[in-house]
Amino acid sequence: MKPNILVCGKTGVGKTSLIQAMTHAGTVPDDAIGDARPTTEGFDLYQTEVVNFIDCEGMEPGKVHATPDDATSSDQNPIESYLNLLMSEVVRRLDSNDAEQCIHLVWYCLSGSDARVQPADARMIEAFRDRVLVIVTKVDLMRRNHIEDFQKALFDLVSPDQIVMISSHQKNGLDKLLSKTLALAKPAIAEAGQEVAEFNERWQQYYVNMRDAWKRRTESEAASIIQWAAGRAAAIAAVPLPLADVGPLVANEIYMIHKLGNVYGFAVNETIITMLLGCLGGSAAGKLAASFLPFLKIPIAAGVTYGVGKAAKAYFESDMTLDAAALKKKFLEGEQEAKSQNWKKAISSDRLEEAEE
């Protein structure tokens, strides 16, 4: 038996691209990717050795989605018509009385490039609350001023454990999505009387090479985020006005932690932010309060931010299990490592990037 995953969401959020990223080459042809244009009509089935993906057509504004039995009324609410389309597939498979045909899990995809979670998204997520993984795609396109509010809106709908932040293009968060999907698939396998250990082995074999590649890309992306944030902290600290850098430095660290969490597939809430900054002895802003001299502030700001980034990276790599002592050690190692870097050069690069923006 293989779990069946229903993949749904609005047109253009990257549903088919995600399936392609989660399967071996050739499973999903390139011409199935719509580049924000609708290409899937009804449902497309993509099968692998370990899982089946049922790719649903995208929800479109104003469109009334027809069910296979043509029972949809032309004056029906478009959102409800899309939900009816999804439910019709769930019921059709359930009526087959074949456990291998049933929908075991729903991936609801929404784009991180949107400014907020829309009512249509909330309706779909609530409908499948117990069996849904909410996948925020294109997290690399999330705007800095939207990221916290976007994630808070999702926390009101589902548990953080049901949210995965991914970028199919950059391969970020896919390993976390894989782990959460496997955890939810195992009970279905057991209920069907199948051998979970055997299924788990087949699953791991199918994804072993892909996971290695994802890990390398994720580590590289995380390192780039830390370097960027530390360089930005150095630029902020170069401001000659006393205490003018406090707010921006804190915001910079919080944004860095959000971005690092997203790279590893986690939606980061205030509890995680507070815990990380708290157990690491506060932020760069606190250490800078004792110094008003730019030539002292710059390496302090960069070093502390770099250390916080290294600790946060280790925390997310550990699946958020690293204890306070281990986090503190990672922070101090990072802070020490930062001393060997030329942060004045980083300031120039950061200001150049801001000018280009």
- In whole angstroms, give the CA distance from residue 102 to residue 105: 9
Using CA atoms, how far residue 3 sits from 6, 49, 130, 328, in Å, is 10, 10, 16, 41
- The residue-averaged pLDDT of 10-34 equals 91
- In whole angstroms, give the CA distance from residue 133 to residue 140: 19
Domain range annotation of the chain: 4-194, 214-356
Query: CB-hemisphere CA count at 13 Å for 324?
Result: 8
Range ranked top by mean pLDDT from 66-80, 186-200, 244-258: 244-258
Q: How many residues does the chain have?
A: 357
Residue 240, pLDDT above cutoff 90: no
Residue 5, pLDDT above cutoff 50: yes
For residue 292, the surrounding DSSP H or E stretch is none
What does the buried/exposed string (b/e) look like for 156-195 if buried means 16 or more CB atoms within 10 Å of the residue's CB? Answer: ebbebebbbbbbbebbbbbbbbbebbbebbbebbeeeebe
- In whole angstroms, give the CA distance from residue 210 to residue 278: 36
CB 204 within 8 A of CB 304: no
Tell me the CATH class for 4-194: alpha beta
Residue 352, pLDDT above cutoff 50: no
Cα four-point dihedral sign 201, 206, 209, 212: negative
- pLDDT tens-place string over residues 138-191: 988 888 778 888 989 999 999 999 999 998 777 889 999 999 999 988 887 787
Q: Other C-beta atoms within 10 Å of 216: how many?
A: 11
For residue 10, the surrounding DSSP H or E stretch is none
Partnered with residue 107 across adjacent β-strands are: 7, 133
Q: Confidence class of residue 99 from pLDDT cuts 50, 70 and 90? A: confident
Name residue 288's amino acid. L
- Give, as one character, the DSSP assignment of residue 110: E
Residue of 90, 88, 121 whose CA lies nearest to 9: 121
The whole-model pTM stands at: 0.84
Helix, coil or strand: residue 3: coil
Tell me what percent of the residues of the chain surpass a pLDDT of 70: 86
Residue of 234, 316, 205, 229 whose CA lies nearest to 268: 316
pLDDT of residue 297: 80
For residue 161, the surrounding DSSP H or E stretch is none
Q: What is the 3-state secondary structure (H, E, C) of 14-43?
A: CHHHHHHHCCCCCCCCHHHCCCCCCCCCCE
Residue 230, pLDDT above cutoff 70: yes
- pLDDT tens-place string over residues 259-306: 999 999 999 988 899 888 887 765 555 555 545 555 678 888 899 899
Q: Which residues contact 185 (CB under 8 A, 6 or more apart)?
A: 3, 51, 104, 105, 199
Q: Which residues contact 346 (CB under 8 A, 6 or more apart)?
A: 227, 230, 231, 234, 235, 302
Using CA atoms, how far residue 170 sits from 18, 175, 218, in Å, is 11, 12, 8
